[in-house]
Structure 1
Amino acid sequence: MTQFMKPTLVAAALLGLTNACQNASAAEGYEINGQFKNVPVGTTLHLSELTSSQFVERGTAKTDAQGKFTFKGTLPVAAAVYQLKVDEPNQVLLVLDNKSRVTLAGDAKSLPATYSVKGSKDSELMQQLTRHLTASKVQMEALGKRYNAAGQAGQTDSLPAIEKRFYVVQGRSAARTRSLIRREATSVAAGFATLSFVNPDEDFAFADSIAAVQRKAQPGSPFTQALTERLEPLRATAIGTNAPEINLATPGGTPLSLKSLRGKYVLVDFWASWCGPCRQENPNVVKAYNQFKDKGKGFTVYSVSLDDDKDRWTKAIAADGLLWPNHVSDLKKWQNAAASAYGVQAIPQSFLLDPTGKIIAKNLRGEALQAKLAEVLK
């Protein structure tokens, strides 16, 4: 349930709110009125703008004896993400412009779980998403702890069921997220939420459809631009497209093309001997290979290694029992030509191809891989 990430600067996904309900007659400038429970009188609240690399404070307000507070003023840009913070665990993110009129309430000691926002359909959408995703995260973290505990206790027979449940929860969470975003597809919040909460590797078609709506409805939004830029490198390996060709050398030095395996279902599997999560996933791939290699039209694996040491690569193949003959690499680690063509930024990463070479699934793990193969290899 983990990946080894390519070293890079990755921005954290943020929860955001945006005000779409505006008073046309209001004077230029934003206003936030709120009341928090369990906050001492005189507590300083901070409002900070998210710039390209950090939060920059734009204002402060103090709570009164009833926990009430007001922020008002003029913002430096048309619309941006702002953080309203009590302390590190208790903060919310807003998208504000100079016509925003937002009302907040909540418990200052558990703000993310209790806050409410009024005056904006976008904000209500983001509140629903926040609570839904928080609940899903709690479920998945609990399943992750159960999985680790079972593994440490040697209860390996229970691991597949826990893993299966994890993916069920993950799938339902993704479906609910898509449903909520789709309701307000033209809003700024929908663009932000798609960028932040949708995995484009798994939901490319959905993310691309929202990006198309956003380019018409919100052409000036920074989220629209960022979402478009995020999706473009993934277009070549989206589900339903023909897989890019690969032609790299085997350990023996002979070129082996991906196209030569047409006629079978093929798992293009990016891995490396130095990648712990890859080595942990290898037994699942071996199990799937042994179970399905002779069924239907047949199944095989085309393993692309991101190693830079041939000896370590070949020893890992033997140690992990990777019995299929299709092992290739150019021994250039992250500069691997195939990884570049497929936009690989983390491993393990895999692409399941049908007999014509079309991508039909991505990043299937454990029971999910076996279930998909059982479905197509009837």
Structure 2
Amino acid sequence: MKPAVVALALLGLTNACQNASAAEGYEISGQLRNAAAGTTLHLAELTSSQFVERGTAKVDAQGRFTFKGVLPVKEAVYQLKVDEPNQVLLVLDNKTHLTLAGDAKNLPASYSVKGSKDSQVMQELTQTLSASRSQMQQLVQRYNTLKQAGRTDSLPAIEARANAVQLGAARQAKAIIRRNATSVAAGFATLTFLSPDEDFAFADSIAAVQQKAQPASPFTQALAERLAPLRATAIGTEGPNIDLPTPAGKNLSLKSLRGKYVLVDFWASWCGPCRQENPNVVKAYNEFKDKGKGFTIYSVSLDQKKENWEQAIAADHLSWPNHVSDLKFWQSAGAAAYGVQAIPQSFLLDPQGKIIAKNLRGPALEAKLAEVLK
């Protein structure tokens, strides 16, 4: 799950500017607990790549505040911020009149809004994900404590719990989005709170609703653009072929491995998370390579230097023979074919070359292989 504030800066959205009539305007009024008199609140609009401040308000001695004015766009996502840890997202237009209440020291988990259906959807999503993020932080702390104490036998249970928390949060978020699929907040949340490339079918279904319900929303446009390159690698489609050089200089085609289950694994020697995941991939390969119809790995490196690539293969004991790279970094033809924008990333293909799973890690990869290689 992506933290909203980080994800927002990466969206590349374009808001269509539209002047509001002089008679229109928005108003946000509210009251915050634990906010000292004179505390400045900031209201900022999400533009193409950042939040742009549109107004400020002072809290009075009773914690009350009011924002009022005319917005520069028809409808957009805004951030109301006390400070960095205490900020929330609202959906505003020039007819919005909403009230907000909460604890200034714990705003994301405590706030409530009235008067804006889209902002209420955003509140429900924010608090669902805030709860899961709190659980994850506790699990990470426990994991690190046990690891430092050498109690590695307890770590798999914590990893399993963390996976369950993430899956549960994703299910809850999807349920909220599905119930409110016609709202602007649904398009925004599908882009920022979920991962369209990991759940293409769900994101595509929301995009179809948004195209009809919110055709002018910048999030509808951004979601359509994000999904377009993912159609080639949706679950159930035939994985695009890759034909790149091995370390020996001879091209090896992905299609040549038909008949086995194949993990198409995108990685690089310079990628820390990739190197950390490699022991899990090695373990899965050694356990399943000779079972059922067979399992192998087709590793596509985004390295630039051949010597670094080869040294990492040896150091990480990547013993399967199917290693390819055109040494073109992010311009890799293989990465382009699969729409890869971050690594590690992987796709599991069945013996007919169809994609049956994506981005399986550790126990999840082993569980899937155990299921299909009976």
TM-score, with structure 1 as normaliser: 0.90
- 1:17 corresponds in structure 2 to none
Using the TM superposition, give the Cα deviation of residue 348 of structure 1 relative to its aligned residue in structure 2, in angstroms: 1.3
Q: Per-residue displacement from partner, 1:141-190 (whole Å, max 9, x unpaired)?
A: 22223333333333333332222222121111111111111001011111
Q: 1:152 to 1:186 in 2, by over 3 A?
A: same
Which structure has more RCO (C-alpha within 8 Å, separation ≥ 6)? Answer: 1
Tell me, yes or no, if structure 1 residue 272 matches structure 2 residue 273. no
Tell me, yes or no, if structure 1 residue 297 matches structure 2 residue 273. no
Q: Distance in 2 between matches of 1:127 and 1:98?
A: 20
- 1:138 corresponds in structure 2 to 134
Q: Per-residue displacement from partner, 1:77-130 (whole Å, max 9, x unpaired)?
A: 111222222233322221211100111111122211211101123222221111
Give 1:332's match in structure 2, choosing from 325, 328, 335: 328
The 4+ residue runs of structure 1 with deviation greater than 4 A are none
Q: Per-residue displacement from partner, 1:200-230 (whole Å, max 9, x unpaired)?
A: 1211110011011001000011111111111
- 2:241 corresponds in structure 1 to 245
One-letter amino acid of the structure 1 residue matched with residue 276 of structure 2: Q
Q: What is the RMSD of the two structures over their aligned residues, measured on CA atoms? A: 2.1
**Residue correspondence of structure 1 range 162-311 to structure 2 within 5 A:** 162-311=158-307
Using the TM superposition, give the Cα deviation of residue 10 of structure 1 relative to its aligned residue in structure 2, in angstroms: 6.6
Q: Distance in 2 between matches of 1:39 and 1:348?
A: 43
One-letter amino acid of the structure 2 residue matched with residue 372 of structure 1: K
8 Å Cα contact 2:89-2:122 kept in structure 1: no
One-letter amino acid of the structure 1 residue matched with residue 183 of structure 2: S
- 2:19 corresponds in structure 1 to none
- 1:6 corresponds in structure 2 to none
Q: Distance in 2 between matches of 1:337 and 1:200?
A: 22
Using the TM superposition, give the Cα deviation of residue 304 of structure 1 relative to its aligned residue in structure 2, in angstroms: 1.0
Q: Aligned residues: percent identity?
A: 77
- Structure 1 gaps of 5+ residues are 3-8, 15-25
One-letter amino acid of the structure 1 residue matched with residue 333 of structure 2: A
- 1:152 corresponds in structure 2 to 148
Q: 1:235 to 1:325 in 2, by over 3 A?
A: same
Segment of structure 1 superposing worse, 41-50 or 270-279: 41-50
Tell me, yes or no, if structure 1 residue 120 matches structure 2 residue 113. no
Q: 1:265 to 1:69 in 2, by over 3 A?
A: same
One-letter amino acid of the structure 1 residue matched with residue 152 of structure 2: T
Q: Distance in 2 between matches of 1:305 and 1:279?
A: 12
8 Å Cα contact 1:288-1:370 kept in structure 2: yes
TM-score, with structure 2 as normaliser: 0.91
Using the TM superposition, give the Cα deviation of residue 11 of structure 1 relative to its aligned residue in structure 2, in angstroms: 4.0
Q: Distance in 2 between matches of 1:59 and 1:321?
A: 56
8 Å Cα contact 1:13-1:197 kept in structure 2: no
Segment of structure 1 superposing worse, 205-214 or 331-340: 331-340
8 Å Cα contact 2:9-2:49 kept in structure 1: no
**Residue correspondence of structure 1 range 35-54 to structure 2 within 5 A:** 35-54=31-50
The number of residue pairs the alignment matches comes to 361
8 Å Cα contact 2:262-2:350 kept in structure 1: yes
- Structure 2 gaps of 5+ residues are 12-21
Q: Distance in 1 between matches of 2:40 and 2:132?
A: 32
Tell me, yes or no, if structure 1 residue 376 matches structure 2 residue 367. no
